[in-house]
Structure 1
Amino acid sequence: MTQTTLAAAAAERAQHVRQRADRPSQRRCAEQLGARATVRAALSGVQVRDSGDGGTLEFRGHASVYEQGYEMWDYFGPYTEIVSEGAGADSLARAKLDVPLVLGHDQLRRLARTTTGTLLLAEDANGLFVHAPALDPADHDVSYIAPKLRSGLIDEMSFAFRIESGQWSPDYTEYRINRYDIHRGDVAIVGYGANPYTGAALRQPAAAPATRARALLELGIAGA
């Protein structure tokens, strides 16, 4: 984005946004109207380790990275968006949190789910960490995505969420998400997203899957 475009959008936004706590209107990850509001997180450092015994696969990744600015668009034009550290704490602490790990935000292509104990989500020093300790390699979607993760053909994530609170900077060039709700959203393995800082890893563990939740942050989709 050019500084001229950013400044022009901010000036227009300042004239029409009623208060700085208002959420972005028509939030999306590209200039085109109708583009999804996804936030990219690169799945850097993908690791796969085959034990040779046909066991399960372990997946680790960041669905979003905190305190890293990335470009988004609203009704007025481009702006920088940042997810605050700890923004998901309240949502992740929710009883019976329901979030699946999916391919491309397709709810019918689920690999794991918090309600079944096959998906663990937590916040770490980087952002929202995604840990699926025991993916079934016999699952069609797991067998489809595993070689692409190993080869680096797919190396990004995203997550679907709802913005609960946030605030525009005084000059309206930046929007900071202070709290989001991920319940009944998703964390997704994607081709491209909006936040380029996240990462993930897939491996076949030699020992029993870890039960301790960790976190990685990638791409975010926020509802209106």
Structure 2
Amino acid sequence: MTALTRAAAAADRAQHIRQRADRPSQRRCAEAPAARATVRATLSGVQLRESGDGGTLEFVGQATVYEQAYEMWDMFGPYTEVVSEGAGADSLARADLDVPLVLGHDQLRRLARTTNGSLFLTESATGLDVRAPALDPADYDVAYIAPKLRAGLVDEMSFAFRIESGQWSPDYTEYRINRYDIHRGDVAIVGYGANPYTTSTLRQPAAATQSSRARALLEIALAR
């Protein structure tokens, strides 16, 4: 995408957006009008670990990164988007938080879920951290994705959420998400992404032997 096109999109945006706090219209992660609005984040340092008795697998990742710009699109054209550090704090604090870990944003391909204690979401200074400590290797979707993570064939994450608060930069080239709601959204293992900074790990609990670890480089891009 040329700088001229980006500048033209920003100029159109400045003429049509009423105030800088307005959310992006027709927000999506690619140029195609049918593209999803989710933010994807590239994973770095994926790892698969089996439990000491070989019974479960632990997945650790980062669904989006904070304070790192990635490209998005709206009805006017391309722009960069940044998720502010701490943007998910209010949503993650909900007692009834309901978020699944899924494959490819398919709600029927769930690997874990916050509501049954099999998925934990927390914020760190760098992003939205994801931990599923006891995935069942006998589950069809776990069995499907585990070897692909080991081999580095699948190496990105994404998260689906709703923007609650944000603001455009003065020149309308960048939108900063200051608060998002992930309740009844998802965190997903995906094939490709827009945000190239996140990390993900599928690993063995600490009691397991180190020889069972497998690492692969990942790339996103948090979602978003």
Q: Same fold (TM over 0.5)?
A: yes
**Cα drift, residue 9 of structure 1:** 0.3
Q: After the TM superposition, which of the residue ranges 177-186 and 194-203 deviates more from structure 2? A: 194-203
CA-based RMSD of the aligned residues comes to 1.5
* Identity in percent: 83
How many Å separate the matches in 2 of 1:49 and 1:158? 22
1:47-86 maps to which residues of 2 (within 5 A)? 47-50=47-50, 53-86=53-86
**Matched-pair contact (CA < 8 Å) for 2:42–2:194:** no
Counterpart in 2 of 1:138? 138
**Which structure 1 residue ranges, 5 or more long, are not aligned?**
209-216
**Cα drift, residue 18 of structure 1:** 0.5
Q: Which amino acid aligns with 1:47?
A: Q
How many Å separate the matches in 2 of 1:26 and 1:12? 14
Equivalenced residue count is: 213
1:101-127, Cα deviation, whole Å (9 max, x unpaired): 000000000000000000000001210
Q: After the TM superposition, which of the residue ranges 28-37 and 11-20 deviates more from structure 2? A: 28-37
State the SS of the aligned residue for 1:8: helix
Q: TM-score, normalised by structure 1?
A: 0.91
Q: Given the alignment of the two structures, is residue 38 of structure 1 paired with residue 41 of structure 2, yes or no?
A: no
**Cα drift, residue 195 of structure 1:** 1.3
Q: TM-score, normalised by structure 2?
A: 0.91
Q: Which runs of 4+ in 1 moved over 6 A?
A: none
1:79-117, Cα deviation, whole Å (9 max, x unpaired): 000000000000000111000000000000000000000
**Matched-pair contact (CA < 8 Å) for 1:38–1:193:** no
How many Å separate the matches in 1 of 2:91 and 2:145? 28
How many Å separate the matches in 2 of 1:81 and 1:58? 31
Counterpart in 2 of 1:2? 2
Q: Given the alignment of the two structures, is residue 220 of structure 1 paired with residue 218 of structure 2, yes or no?
A: no
Counterpart in 2 of 1:212? none
How many Å separate the matches in 1 of 2:182 and 2:26? 19
**Which structure 2 residue ranges, 5 or more long, are not aligned?**
209-219
State the SS of the aligned residue for 2:49: coil
